[in-house]
A = this chain, B = another copy of it.
Amino acid sequence: MKIIVKKFGGTSLSDIDRINRAISYIVKTKSAGYKVVIVVSAMGKETDRLLTLTDNLEEYRESDDLSALLSAGEQISSSIFSIMLHKQKVKGQSFQGWQVPILTNSGPNNAYIESIDTKQIIKSLKLGMTPIVSGFQGINKANRITTLGRGGSDTTAVALAAKLNAVRCDIYTDVDGVYTTDPNIDQNAKKIPKMSYEEMLEMASTGSKVLHTRSVELAMKNNLTLQVLSSLTKETGTFIVDEKELIEKEIVSGVSYSKNEAKVTISGILDKPGISAKIFSLMTENNINVDMIVQNISQDGISANITFTISQKDFDITKSVIEKNHNSLKYKSLSLDKNVAKISVIGMGMMSQAGVAEKMFKTLAKNEINILAISTSEIKISVLIEEKHTNIAVKSLHEAYNL
């Protein structure tokens, strides 16, 4: 059986017309000889609507009742999709997480998939039916409903495609692919036809929100081809594949940015071994993710300054954790700044090519943009700059690398 898994997000299912459009892609793929398994998110703003129905969610967030509530959104869209398929003479069969079943850890709200039993899905396909699986949901060993957290439906689709040995997993979303940079910032941005998992992962972690990191990692682990495409156009999207399949590797394939950063500077700490370990173990204990780190000796040669970046959502907790430990850290001053942005250039070809970093720093300098911190990986260089320079930095880098 040659299977393609197709996943439709909320905007692709927001009304009857869009669902019919999604169905037209199913019909086309089936007539090309493939079996299709469909994975759906909740329709349009349904998840938001469900969250407004009670008034005490804040005090009771971690519960399997919340998972039961939210998973109703996908239950509605999968059953409606199946009902509407009948118009096109396709016999659908809706599957909730517990019906597959998709077994997760205990969860209940940010659960991980532990195993997928594909027997029922394969039986459905063999009977000539087209299964429509509710994304985002599963059950744990206690038979309680769980949900997979952010990007959960993408994860369901990729995990199912991997388990079914699918030819490919198509992710239909509201953009028609992955771009060399954000088209809202630079109108010269171009759609990337093909890229590697690693590049996509770096793109995702540096701010391009097309796919959730978790689903790309899962595809990479299983060497499953992904296609990101729009359900509103008929165009081919961006294929995400193993790097071996990329014949000519782009030195730089994209420029991404994130305004979701905050900079923390702790000044005047004693320049002694163990002091940074102390700071970062405090961060770990409080589940604060630290990204770039820069450490300097200050001019007096005795004390040091440490700068690092965190997510803006951790701003308040970081501030209070450091202040609470003033006595043990013995620093002179603490400053936090939300007006920063991270700019990254990403490309598989970078590994074998010198001068990529140099070009980046020169381009920024020519535009009089100060670099506050730098971090690099084999296929990515990121710099922290003042937020107000974001647009000009992205545009000038996009041009400098001929994207």
Task: Tell me the A residues contacting B by CB distance below 8 Å.
Answer: 16, 19, 43, 50, 53-57, 59-60, 63-66, 68-69, 71-72, 75-76, 78-80, 82-84, 86-87, 92-94, 96, 98-99, 120, 143-145
Contact = CB atoms under 8 A, between A and B. Distances in A.
A83 B54 contact: yes
29 contacts: A50-B76, A55-B84, A56-B83, A57-B83, A59-B86, A60-B86, A63-B82, A63-B83, A65-B79, A65-B83, A65-B93, A66-B79, A66-B83, A68-B75, A68-B78, A68-B79, A68-B82, A68-B94, A68-B96, A69-B76, A71-B75, A72-B72, A72-B75, A72-B76, A75-B75, A96-B145, A98-B98, A99-B143, A120-B143
A83 B69 contact: yes
A219 B56 CA distance: 36
Given A16-B55, A43-B53, A65-B79, 10 more contacts: A53-B76, A54-B80, A54-B84, A56-B86, A59-B86, A59-B87, A64-B94, A68-B82, A71-B75, A98-B98
Closest 4 CB pairs of A and B: A69-B79, A68-B79, A65-B82, A72-B72
A283 to B, nearest CB: 32
A98 to B, nearest CB: 6
Contacts of A99: 143-144
Nearest to A87: B56
B92 A65 contact: yes
Nearest to A120: B143
A149 to B, nearest CB: 17
A42 to B, nearest CB: 10
A89 to B, nearest CB: 11
A103 to B, nearest CB: 15
A60 B81 CA distance: 12
A80 B78 CA distance: 21
A63 B78 CA distance: 13
Contacts of A96: 68, 145
A143 B123 CA distance: 13
A199 B69 CA distance: 40
Nearest to A96: B68
Interface centre among A69, A143, A145 (most CB of B within 10 A): A69
Contacts of A98: 98
Contacts of A84: 54-56
A63 B66 CA distance: 28
A65 B16 CA distance: 16
Contacts of A80: 53-54, 65, 69
Contacts of A145: 96
A69 to B, nearest CB: 4
Nearest to A71: B75
A78 B64 CA distance: 12
Nearest to A53: B80
Contacts of A75: 68-69, 71-72, 75
Interface centre among A55, A75, A76, A144 (most CB of B within 10 A): A76
Contacts of A56: 83-84, 86-87
Nearest to A66: B83
A80 B55 CA distance: 10
Contacts of A68: 75, 78-79, 82, 94, 96
Interface centre among A16, A56, A83, A93 (most CB of B within 10 A): A83
Contacts of A86: 56, 59-60
Nearest to A139: B99
A79 B83 contact: no
A72 B65 contact: no
A254 to B, nearest CB: 38
Contacts of A19: 54
Contacts of A54: 16, 19, 80, 83-84
